[in-house]
Chain A
C-alpha cells in the first residue's frame, strides 16, 4: 500500500500512509487510539474507500468495494469482539454464510471442519456448541473461519485483549503455524510485550500519519513507546507551565485512599492540591481512565475513602461528586458526554441545572445567558445555542462539554482525553485554558494519550501500567523520556 489517504468530515484520519506486508511475516500495527490503525484496516478490507493512494496484492493493483470482495481475494479479518454465534456448533460457525447452496450438507461440513481444526491444531470438535469452548478457542475458531478459503492475508484486530496468558500463548502458536504456511499476518494490539514476542516487523502510526516501519529486533521498547507517543508540535511548545503551588503542607482539595472500582482498577491513593494540574499517564488500558472514573464514581466504587479539603465525604454516584465540587469530562465524548439531540444550550446548562435541582429550573432567559456567556468565552462555533449539539464538529462539542463543567464552578475538574480527535488549534486552546484555570485556583487532572500534552500542562504525573500506579514524576523539567522509562520498566 502506498500513499493511502482517507479523510472524514473535519478529521484527517489517514495521510499518506505506506504499508507493506510480506509473505509469511507477522507485522504489528501500533499506535495510540485515534492513530488511524482501524481506519487503515478498514481501507484494506474495503469497509471504507480510500481517497487517494494505491493498494496492490502480489504486485497487482486491487480496489475493494466491499468487505466481501476483500474476503474473496483472500484477506481474512478477525475483529476484537468475537463475531460468532455462540449457540451454534463449531462447524456451523466456521461455514455459516459460506455455502452456495440452500441446503447444508452436514456430513461434508463436519468432515471439512475436522480437517481444518486438526491441521491448525485447534482443540475443538466440530459438533461441539461454541459456548462450551474457551474464549481462546473461540478466537481460534474465528481465525480458522477467516483462514479457510485459501487465505493470503490475515488481519487480527486486538485478538488478545480478552485472553489470559496461557490462551495468548496458544494463539501465538497458531499464528506461527499460519506464518510458516506463508500467510501474512497483520497484528494489532496495545500490548507491547506481545508485539516483541511474536512480530517480525512493526509499523507505527500516529495522528493518521506513518511514523515508520521497523524491524522488531532493531527497535527497543522505549524507542517504540516514544514513536507511538510522538513529539511536540511547535505551536504547542510555546505554552508555559505554571509553577506548582508552593505550600505542600496545606490540606489537599481532594484525597483518596485505597480507592477501587468495579472497572477493575487496583486500589490506589491519590491527592491533588489547590491550583495543581496533575495527570494519569500510561498507555491505553493502563487504568488511567478507570482511575478518573473511580474518583467521580462513574463506575461503581468498591472500596476506599475519600476526603474533600480534609473532610471525609461519601461519593457513591456522580451526583455526589458534583455536589462536592468535582467535574468530569469523560473520555467517550459521544457515549458519555453529549446528549446528541439536545441543543447546545441544554447541553451547557445540564450539569449545573441538575445540581440546582429538579424543581428549580432556570428560566429560559437565564439559560440563554449562561449559554451565550460560555459560547463566547470558549469561542464555540455554533450557528445558535438552539442548534442540536450533534451537528457541531468534535472540537466544538468538546468545548460545550467543557463549558458544561465550567458553569458548575468546580473546585476540581477531571479532563479525560479532552483533546482526542480534535484539531490542533482547539487542542492548544484547551491546554491554554487548563493552565489558566489552574492559575485561578482550580485543581485539574488532565489525561491524554499524547504525552507531550501532559508534560506541558501537568506539574505532576502519576504513571500507570496494568491498572496500577507504577510511579510518580514531578518537577518542572519532565521529559517524555522520564515517563517512558517508568512505563517500560514497570515497577520502580
Chain B
C-alpha cells in the first residue's frame, strides 16, 4: 500500500495535467472520447494522441535514462533519428523489392547506426566528461547534414506496402501500427527494468557517482550504457517517423522533438539533474504533451500562435511543480493542520505538546 502511494505521488503532476486537459476538451465538446471505425481500424481523439505521440514516448524513455545517469540531456535526438532512418531508407531502397525481410534488416541496420550515435555521445560524456548538452550539440548541428549525405538527395520516397502499413494500419488489425510498436517497446523496457539492475545502477550513479564507484559500479560504463539505450530509442523513433511520413525528409524529420522529450521527462516528475527516475511518469508526460498540442488545435488557436500558448501553459506547469511552490504549499498545509490539532487539544484539555516535525531541517556537516 505504502509502495503504491509512493509511486502515485510521483505521478500526481502528469496525471493532474492530463485530467485538466481532458476537462478542457470535454468542455469544448462532449464527443471527445468518441471512436469511429474506418476500414476496420479505430480512429478518434484518443487513438490519434496515442498515434501521434509514438516517437515522443520512445524518445522520452531514452531521455529519462540519460538524464538520470548523466545529469544532463541529449539534445541531438531528432538529428540522430534522421541519421538512423536515413540508413534504413538507404538499405530498403537499394534492396530491390521491399519484403518483410528487407524492412527488418533495414531496421536492424538503423539500430546499429543508433548504437554508433549513442556510443559517440556516450564516449564524449563518460570518457571526456563533456557536458551532455554540449556533447550532443555536435550532432544537433551536424546530424541532419550527415543524414542528407546518406540520402544523397532531398526526401527519398518510401513507396511500398509494408512501410505504409507500419506507418498506418495493417489490414485486419483494429489499432494503428505505431501504437502497437510503441506498446511493444514499452513492454520491452519494462522487462529490461524488471530483469536487470538498470534502475539501481543508473539511480546510484546519478545521485552519487563517487559512492556508486566505491560500491563496485562503474559510473563511466553506466553513463555510456544509457547513451547506447538512447541510441536504440532514437533508431526506433526514426523508424516509426519515416514510415509514418512515407519519405525521408532530412530537414524536418522529428525537428524540435528534443524539446518535447525533455519536457516529457520534466512533466513526468523527474529531476533534470539526475538521480531517481520514473519512466511511467515520462510516458504519461509524453502523451500529455501530445494531448496539449492537439487540444490547442481543437480549441482552434491560430497555428502561428500555438507555440506561445504552449509556452505559457508550460511556464504555469513548471511554476506549480517547482519546489518553491511545493514547499510553500506544504507549509500552509502544515499550519492548517497545526491549528486544527491545537484547537482540538484545547478542547480536550490535554497538555499542548503537539510538535511538528520537520524532515527538511539541514543536517549539520562539520568540516
25 inter-chain pairs at a CB distance below 8 angstroms, sorted by A residue, are A9-B363, A13-B366, A33-B367, A39-B366, A298-B214, A317-B216, A318-B214, A318-B216, A319-B217, A319-B218, A322-B215, A330-B211, A330-B214, A335-B208, A335-B211, A339-B208, A339-B211, A341-B276, A342-B276, A350-B200, A351-B216, A354-B201, A355-B216, A358-B201, A360-B197
Interface residues on B, range: 20 to 34
Give the contacts of B2-35 with A (CB-CB under 8 A). 2-3, 6
Give the contacts of A329-364 with B (CB-CB under 8 A). 330, 334-342, 346, 350-351, 353-355, 357-361
Classify the interface of chain A: helix, strand, loop or mixed: mixed
- With A318-B213, A339-B203, A394-B363 known, 9 other A-B pairs at CB within 8 A are A9-B363, A34-B366, A322-B215, A330-B211, A337-B211, A338-B211, A339-B204, A358-B201, A390-B363
Interface residues on A, range: 35 or more
A-B CB contacts (within 8 Å), total count:
105
**A342–B204 contact, CB under 8 A?**
yes
**B210–A336 contact, CB under 8 A?**
yes
Q: Complex Cα distance A330/B208, Å?
A: 14
Give the contacts of A268-327 with B (CB-CB under 8 A). 296, 298, 317-319, 322
Q: Which residue of B lies closest to A362 (CB)?
A: B197
**B214–A336 contact, CB under 8 A?**
yes
Select which of A328, A334, A360, A361 is within 8 A of B214 by beta carbon: A328
Please indicate the chain A residues that have their CB under 8 angstroms from the CB of B346 in the complex. Answer: none
Please indicate the chain A residues that have their CB under 8 angstroms from the CB of B195 in the complex. Answer: 359, 361
Chain A 27-49 near chain B by CB (<8 Å), digits 1 or 0: 00000011011110000000000
Give the contacts of A348-392 with B (CB-CB under 8 A). 350-351, 353-355, 357-361, 384, 386, 390-391
**B216–A354 contact, CB under 8 A?**
yes
**A335–B210 contact, CB under 8 A?**
yes
B347 proximal to A (CB < 8 A): no
Chain B 265-278 near chain A by CB (<8 Å), digits 1 or 0: 00000000001100
Please indicate the chain B residues that have their CB under 8 angstroms from the CB of A340 in the complex. Answer: 207-208
Q: Complex Cα distance A346/B361, Å?
A: 23
Give the contacts of B311-366 with A (CB-CB under 8 A). 359, 361-366
Please indicate the chain A residues that have their CB under 8 angstroms from the CB of B3 in the complex. Answer: 386
B134 smallest CB distance to A (angstroms): 21
**B216–A319 contact, CB under 8 A?**
yes
**B359–A391 contact, CB under 8 A?**
yes
Chain B 202-227 near chain A by CB (<8 Å), digits 1 or 0: 01100110111111111000000000
B337 smallest CB distance to A (angstroms): 19
Q: Complex Cα distance A38/B366, Å?
A: 7
A11 proximal to B (CB < 8 A): yes
Give the contacts of A102-123 with B (CB-CB under 8 A). none
B260 smallest CB distance to A (angstroms): 26
B94 proximal to A (CB < 8 A): no
Q: Complex Cα distance A384/B216, Å?
A: 26
Please indicate the chain A residues that have their CB under 8 angstroms from the CB of B6 in the complex. Answer: 386
Q: Which residue of B lies closest to A393 (CB)?
A: B363
A101 proximal to B (CB < 8 A): no
A81 smallest CB distance to B (angstroms): 12
Q: Complex Cα distance A360/B275, Å?
A: 22
Residues of A within 8 A of B (CB): 8-11, 13, 33-34, 36-39, 296, 298, 317-319, 322, 328, 330, 334-342, 346, 350-351, 353-355, 357-361, 384, 386, 390-391, 394, 404, 421
Please indicate the chain A residues that have their CB under 8 angstroms from the CB of B364 in the complex. Answer: 8-11, 13
Q: Complex Cα distance A335/B210, Å?
A: 7
The CB with the most chain B CB atoms within 10 A, among A10, A296, A361, A386, is that of A361
Please indicate the chain B residues that have their CB under 8 angstroms from the CB of A338 in the complex. Answer: 208, 211
Q: Complex Cα distance A290/B217, Å?
A: 21
Residues of B within 8 A of A (CB): 2-3, 6, 195-198, 200-201, 203-204, 207-208, 210-218, 275-276, 359, 361-367
Q: Complex Cα distance A346/B197, Å?
A: 11
Q: Complex Cα distance A355/B217, Å?
A: 9
**A38–B367 contact, CB under 8 A?**
yes
**B365–A334 contact, CB under 8 A?**
yes
A316 smallest CB distance to B (angstroms): 11
**A339–B212 contact, CB under 8 A?**
yes
B350 smallest CB distance to A (angstroms): 25
Q: Complex Cα distance A404/B198, Å?
A: 19
**A359–B196 contact, CB under 8 A?**
yes
Q: Complex Cα distance A296/B191, Å?
A: 35
A127 smallest CB distance to B (angstroms): 34
Q: Complex Cα distance A298/B211, Å?
A: 10
Please indicate the chain B residues that have their CB under 8 angstroms from the CB of A339 in the complex. Answer: 203-204, 207-208, 211-212
Select which of A38, A351, A361, A390 is within 8 A of B196 by beta carbon: A361
Select which of A33, A328, A355 is within 8 A of B366 by beta carbon: A33
Shortest 3 CB-CB distances between A and B: which pairs? A8-B364, A319-B216, A354-B216
B277 smallest CB distance to A (angstroms): 11
Q: Complex Cα distance A354/B219, Å?
A: 13
Q: Which residue of A lies closest to B364 (CB)?
A: A8
Q: Complex Cα distance A328/B365, Å?
A: 21
Once A38-B367, A351-B216, A394-B363 are accepted as A-B contacts, the answer to whether A346 and B200 lie under 8 Å apart by CB is yes
**A350–B213 contact, CB under 8 A?**
no
Please indicate the chain A residues that have their CB under 8 angstroms from the CB of B203 in the complex. Answer: 339, 341-342, 346
The CB with the most chain A CB atoms within 10 A, among B198, B212, B213, B363, is that of B363
Q: Complex Cα distance A13/B364, Å?
A: 9
The CB with the most chain A CB atoms within 10 A, among B196, B200, B210, is that of B200
Q: Which residue of A lies closest to B205 (CB)?
A: A339
